[in-house]
Amino acid sequence: GAGVSQSPSNKVTEKGKDVELRCDPISGHTALYWYRQSLGQGLEFLIYFQGNSAPDKSGLPSDRFSAERTGGSVSTLTIQRTQQEDSAVYLCASRKRGTAYMNTEAFFGQGTRLTVV
Amino acid sequence: KQEVTQIPAALSVPEGENLVLNCSFTDSAIYNLQWFRQDPGKGLTSLLLIQSSQREQTSGRLNASLDKSSGRSTLYIAASQPGDSATYLCAVSDGGGGNKLTFGTGTQLKVEL
């Protein structure tokens, strides 16, 4: 497939459990982003990976959230000890490396809808 | 800190009408601006990307303009159709090379028959 792929599409978990969300970016895209969209809210930036550079983790809401990107491709967002307020749609995006003056188009996956019960 | 605002929050128009969606941002030092649409329960679909050096971009019935100095962008939709009903989001990138996008809260558009 040519697009950004996320799995699972839906996840229901019990409060206190850990969850892992996966993102497969478009092949060749060096930048990868995770966003969160809570019901009725805008998109909240979580974390950004660019090539081999240290990730920008400034948006992670707590130390229960972490993400890694292996081999510069697939990324996993992990939420430990889930809470009900973690319920949201988690969106992943990727784009090609731009230049110092231009950014390229960002493409989003369909998201993972996480429900914590 | 960059803040992006979209007005109106919701809009309902009859089919066939031309319409304009607005996006404003507080820090004009952007590298580009991108418009997306989001259908209910779905991810984001990219519509148009405008680099900071450009004034407008067109794709089919869509035309996006950018006035970087005043911190504004508009998305013009011509001859609206029911299939255009969705939430439209604008996002700005503050840094070159792929820095994060800052999103507005969106305009929910409904095109009625």
For A22-59, write each residue's pLDDT tens digit: 999 999 899 999 999 998 788 999 999 988 888 999 99
Residue A17 burial (C-beta neighbours within 10 Å; 0-12, 13-18, 19+): exposed
Closest to B72 (Cα-Cα) out of B3, B9, B13, B23 = B23
Q: What is the pLDDT of residue B82?
A: 97
**How far is the alpha carbon of B55 from chain A, nearest alpha carbon, in Å?**
14
B96 to A59: CB separation less than 8 angstroms, yes or no: no
Q: Is residue B77 pLDDT above 80, yes or no?
A: yes
pLDDT in tens, A72-101: 799 999 999 999 999 999 999 999 887 766
Q: Which chain A residue's Cα is nearest to B103? A: A43
Cα-Cα end-to-end distance for chain B: 41
Query: What average pLDDT score do residues A15-23 get?
Result: 98
pLDDT at residue number B10: 96
> Rounded CA gap, B50 and B57, in Å?
6
Identify all chain A residues contacting B36, using CB atoms and an 8 Å cutoff.
Answer: 108
**By CA distance, what is A30's nearest residue in B?**
B98
Single out the residue of B32, B44, B34 nearest to residue A90, CA to CA: B44
Q: Measured between CB atoms, which of A41, A42, A50 is closest to B97?
A: A50
Task: Tell whether A25 is within 8 A of chain B (Cβ).
Answer: no
Closest to B103 (Cβ–Cβ): which among A43, A102, A105? Answer: A43
Reported as a pLDDT band with limits 50, 70 and 90, residue B41 is: confident
Asked if B96 and A100 come within 8 Å (Cβ–Cβ), the reply is: yes
Q: What is residue A115's three-state secondary structure?
A: strand
Contact B104, B23 (CB under 8 A): yes
Pairwise CA distance, residues B2 & B42, whole Å: 26
Whether residue B96 has pLDDT greater than 70? no
- CB nearest B97 (choices: A33, A45, A99): A99
Minimum CA–CA partner of A42 in chain B: B105
pLDDT above 80 (res A1): no
> Which residue among A35, A96, A106 places its CB closest to the CB of B46?
A106
* Partners of residue B100 in chain A, C-beta under 8 Å: 33, 45, 48, 56, 59
What's the confidence (pLDDT) of residue A17?
98
| Whole-angstrom distance, CA of residue A11 vs CA of residue A25 | 20
| CA proximity to A55, closest of A27, A37, A76, A41 | A76
